[in-house]
Structure 1
Amino acid sequence: MSRTAFEIYGRGFGWSWRLRGPAEVLATGSRHYDTSRAARDAIDIVRAAVAEISGHEESFPDTDVDAPDISVEQEATPSGELPEERNNWVWRLQTANGVLGHSADRFSTEMAAQSAADQFLDYAAGALPMFLVGAEYEWKTGPKPIEVGSSSLTGLVSEATRGIRHRKVLDQIDTQIVVSGTRGKSSTTQRLDDVFNRRGYDTLTKITGNHPLLIHNGEVHPIERRGPRTTLYENISLIAEFVPELDAYEPDDVAIFENQGITEYTTRLFNQRLTDPDIIVLTNVRQDHTDTLGKTRTDLARSFARSVPAGTHVVSGEQHPVLHEYMQKEIERRGGTIEQVDIPDEHEGLIGSETIHAVNAVLDVVGEPPLPAEEIESFLSAIQPTWIEIEDGCIFNAAEVNDVESTEMVRRVLVDDEYITPFVYLRRDRRGRTASFAQYIELLFERELIDEAHIGGANTRAFAENVDVPTKCHSQNADPEQVLTELFTDGRPVILMGNTVDEFMREMQASIEQRVKEKRQAASASEAVDISEQGSAEATKPKDHE
């Protein structure tokens, strides 16, 4: 999956946004805002401007922009100069009301700046807003982080005894949506939040992960957990604090929760006790969390189906007919209903198509019109994997998708039947995932799609000893920069896979981004030299005389 997103972040002087492409930041906002909501609203204006420039005005019909345009020009120094040794060319996105955003870098030639502007238009059309929170992001003003969780048993019991009051609070919400499944939960939750927020609903959304957060109508509230572990009971506190605000607003309200359970029991507890979903979006059933949810995809499907409360409608993105039939019988037996997302022929095989079309299915359930076709096309285009080109060769970081089925889908989109060099990064706390990737690496070797696997992270020696594949192990203390160089020794494209939440992988991603920038700068400099030489040749060329 592509890493493309509009990142909303805070600094000491306010909130801003930037558009991150697959390997580098492409654009930044033109100003800072006092609140995260204002920065979020600015992104909608940017997306509406991009849609109109691209001829897709119907994608953002509720956001008005006046005469949007993208210009490429030279940016002078504060003293008004254009030094020859400086990259002077930039692009700007603007309307009649002012500049909305601009290129993240300056370029040495007009052609390079125009190419960057075109790239921005391509990616911005389908990019989603994403809030960045955590210690590295500090904001001047804004909502106070919410403290949840308790490290003591007494604290948990205290929260659990609020069950009756909690159910009464849940009853105040017009529509509750829970997003469950294996892959794509966070992005689907973000996409639902984006759509309902833009359509004027009073929207409350909770997203889990390393930096969990709550979003209320575009205003972000970071969640600070007091205890060392994630606790499902934190949702009682969050719902009790924010749902009364939803009930006080005039528009219909919708609450969207990402199910954070990773066992059958906790997944069921979340759906049946901590929330009361009208709709459950089941993104897919992939082979991950096999040590907690089940050893096979059928076991995983059973776990998800058994977590559905009576009276709940399930929108399922899982396309496997046998798994769907099994879940349908189990869910209907429990008093629920299920529909399988219908993927049009032209979107078959595209990564993420089941989750994007699931949004339309949800809109249909609540009586809302579907997303415009152009918006769906833009979303799908933005998330399809493409090779990242650096001086060493081509690389793609598929470690973010975690499971083997999704990794294989990425590989097929990128190379199909060509050889690759895989780098599998292991984590000690993901034994089920490690076992799945061991089988996957052996399968790639048997099909003659790899002739060696590079292994990094924890327990690399044990992994190497249990696969019948030539391996090269890299220790946890290895230099990511050096490992990245070694991966290209055979001259083949590289796919990173396995796990991404680790400092080593963050440093490797940073190294990739730096090499992308260096390659672009080298190409731009070469282009500038060519233009200069061409100009010199034209100047010295003998003129014809009559």
Structure 2
Amino acid sequence: MLIISVILILLLSLLIIEKRMLQKSIGSMNLRIHVNGTRGKSSVTEYIAAGVASSRPEVMAKITGIIPSVIHNGVIQTVDRNGAARVQEQVNILRSAFRKKVKTMVLECMSIAPELQKLEGSIFQPHFYVITNIRDDHREEMGKDIESQADAICSAIPANCRVITGESKFIKKIEEKASAGNSTVITAGELDERLREKLPWGIFPENVALALTVCREAGIDPDLAEEGIMNWIAGTKSPLTTMLYGGKKIRFLNAFAVNDIESTESFIGYWKEVSGHTDRITVILNTRADRPVRTDLFSEWIANNRDSFDLIILTGNHRTRARYKLSESGFEKEKVICWNSREMRSPVKSLVSTVSDGAFVTGIGNIGGDGFHIINELR
């Protein structure tokens, strides 16, 4: 019994020490910004960090998006992740930031479950809480409809901070939740036409406007913030690439990370207009068994817009379910192709042998698993 009591005392002591060290790490940062929302979190996090770094030293950003990474003073480093994503990863990043004497931290929210979103906020204690937008996604964890998902995101709004958002549909809900915790809400307006004309194709003006608003509210000189963000954007890659392979010219649009229907439609429509493509397209739907609702939603969307597509290529570990849903809806079986391990050994060759010259192909659904493999092959 004495031994158990000693062990419990030691564990409690370690927890107290751990909490104090974490509080010390967070307290050393004089500007803390937490970025949440459905779409555009990674881009907005990058833009904010670039804008703040234009006039402040020792700025770090943690990106959760396609490839988890840390940006410290403009240098990108991939985060080594063993197993599934956990909030502990954010804690480790905050400790690293403290050791590196970081003064500004821009942290993309990595949690999906509502209670974990709240936990992140309570740990980080941000001065600014950014909500990019609210779209229908992650039904498994955040609720079966967009109202529930809006509640999940808004419930994580910390007390006594400034909330900055580009979301308009749920602005009243955001204001109510913020007011309950003595937080204030600031809405980002539209980007002025002068800056819009400077943006490369594929950069969403609303994300830039949101980042500039955050920088302004944080006391960053607007001209310097704009210069920093525009310089960062100039170094980003376009999601639309052109392949010349096997005598064929194929355009590929990477939309794997755009996980909700509304944003996917907008994203594809935008890039079709930019590229001048007016015909039907081929879709690679990458599926995940741990995202079954997403599989069903994208399959239904494809079936409801069948005249827009030439072929549907199914990849990932939930492709059998997608094929079933498409068949159930009456989608033409001859237009649906399942890629197995043989095709995935060389997805570029498989794609070239499948589509015709001049094809416009877009990857949708999920970036994980086969999506990563396809993108790496295309690079």
Picking from 464, 472, 480, the partner of 2:323 is 464
Picking from 500, 503, 508, the partner of 2:374 is 508
Q: Which residue of 2 aligns with 1:360?
A: 212
Question: Conserved in 1, the CA contact under 8 Å of 2:292 and 2:318?
Answer: no
Q: Which residue of 2 aligns with 1:261?
A: 111
- What CA distance in whole angstroms lies between the structure 2 residues aligned with 1:371 and 1:245? 28
1:262-306 deviation line (CA, Å, top 9, x unaligned): 11111111011x201000122222232221122222222211111
Root mean square deviation, CA, Å: 3.4
TM-score by length of 2: 0.78
1:285 aligns with 2:134: yes
Question: Conserved in 1, the CA contact under 8 Å of 2:121 and 2:158?
Answer: yes
| Amino acid paired to 1:323 | F
Change (3 A) 1:171 1:481: closer
Change (3 A) 1:364 1:265: same
1:377-416 aligned at under 5 Å gives the runs: 379=233, 386=240, 388=242, 390=244, 391-415=248-272
Question: Conserved in 2, the CA contact under 8 Å of 1:317 and 1:341?
Answer: yes
1:178 aligns with 2:34: yes
- What CA distance in whole angstroms lies between the structure 2 residues aligned with 1:179 and 1:351? 18
1:244 to partner: Cα distance: 5.8
Q: Which residue of 2 aligns with 1:454?
A: 313
Which SS does the other structure have where 1:322 is aligned?
coil
Change (3 A) 1:485 1:156: farther
Change (3 A) 1:162 1:188: same
Question: Conserved in 2, the CA contact under 8 Å of 1:279 and 1:313?
Answer: yes
- What CA distance in whole angstroms lies between the structure 1 residues aligned with 2:13 and 2:280? 55
1:482-541 deviation line (CA, Å, top 9, x unaligned): 431244249642222112232x4444335545xxxxxxxxxxxxxxxxxxxxxxxxxxxx
- What CA distance in whole angstroms lies between the structure 1 residues aligned with 2:241 and 2:348? 19
Change (3 A) 1:449 1:159: farther
1:33-44 aligned at under 5 Å gives the runs: none
1:425 to partner: Cα distance: 1.2
Change (3 A) 1:387 1:214: closer
Q: Which residue of 2 aligns with 1:483?
A: 350
Question: Conserved in 2, the CA contact under 8 Å of 1:352 and 1:380?
Answer: no
**Structure richer in helix, relative to its length:** 2
Higher relative contact order (CA 8 A, sep 6+): 2
Question: Conserved in 2, the CA contact under 8 Å of 1:426 and 1:455?
Answer: yes
- What CA distance in whole angstroms lies between the structure 2 residues aligned with 1:472 and 1:220? 39
Question: How many residues in Structure 1 have an aligned counterpart in Structure 2?
Answer: 348
1:155 to partner: Cα distance: 9.4
- What CA distance in whole angstroms lies between the structure 2 residues aligned with 1:210 and 1:512? 15
Q: Which residue of 1 aligns with 2:304?
A: 443
Which SS does the other structure have where 2:59 is aligned?
strand
Q: Which residue of 1 aligns with 2:295?
A: 434
Change (3 A) 1:437 1:353: same
- What CA distance in whole angstroms lies between the structure 2 residues aligned with 1:155 and 1:487? 60
1:440 to partner: Cα distance: 2.1
1:196-217 deviation line (CA, Å, top 9, x unaligned): 2232322233233575444443
1:176 to partner: Cα distance: 0.5
Gaps of 5+ in 1: 1-153, 248-252, 514-546
- What CA distance in whole angstroms lies between the structure 1 residues aligned with 2:13 and 2:341? 42
Question: Conserved in 2, the CA contact under 8 Å of 1:271 and 1:309?
Answer: yes
Change (3 A) 1:224 1:322: closer
TM-score by length of 1: 0.56
1:435-493 deviation line (CA, Å, top 9, x unaligned): 33123212322xx3225422222222221222322241313313223431244249642
1:380 to partner: Cα distance: 8.4
Q: Which residue of 2 aligns with 1:239?
A: 94
Which SS does the other structure have where 1:400 is aligned?
coil
1:333 to partner: Cα distance: 2.6
Q: Which residue of 2 aligns with 1:315?
A: 164
1:160 to partner: Cα distance: 8.0
1:60-139 aligned at under 5 Å gives the runs: none
Change (3 A) 1:156 1:426: farther
Which SS does the other structure have where 2:140 is aligned?
coil
Q: Which residue of 2 aligns with 1:522?
A: none
| Amino acid paired to 2:350 | V
- What CA distance in whole angstroms lies between the structure 1 residues aligned with 2:144 and 2:94? 33
- What CA distance in whole angstroms lies between the structure 2 residues aligned with 1:208 and 1:270? 13
Q: Which residue of 1 aligns with 2:285?
A: 424
Change (3 A) 1:371 1:450: farther
| Amino acid paired to 1:293 | M
- What CA distance in whole angstroms lies between the structure 1 residues aligned with 2:146 and 2:137? 9
Change (3 A) 1:377 1:475: same
Change (3 A) 1:412 1:276: same
1:402 to partner: Cα distance: 2.9
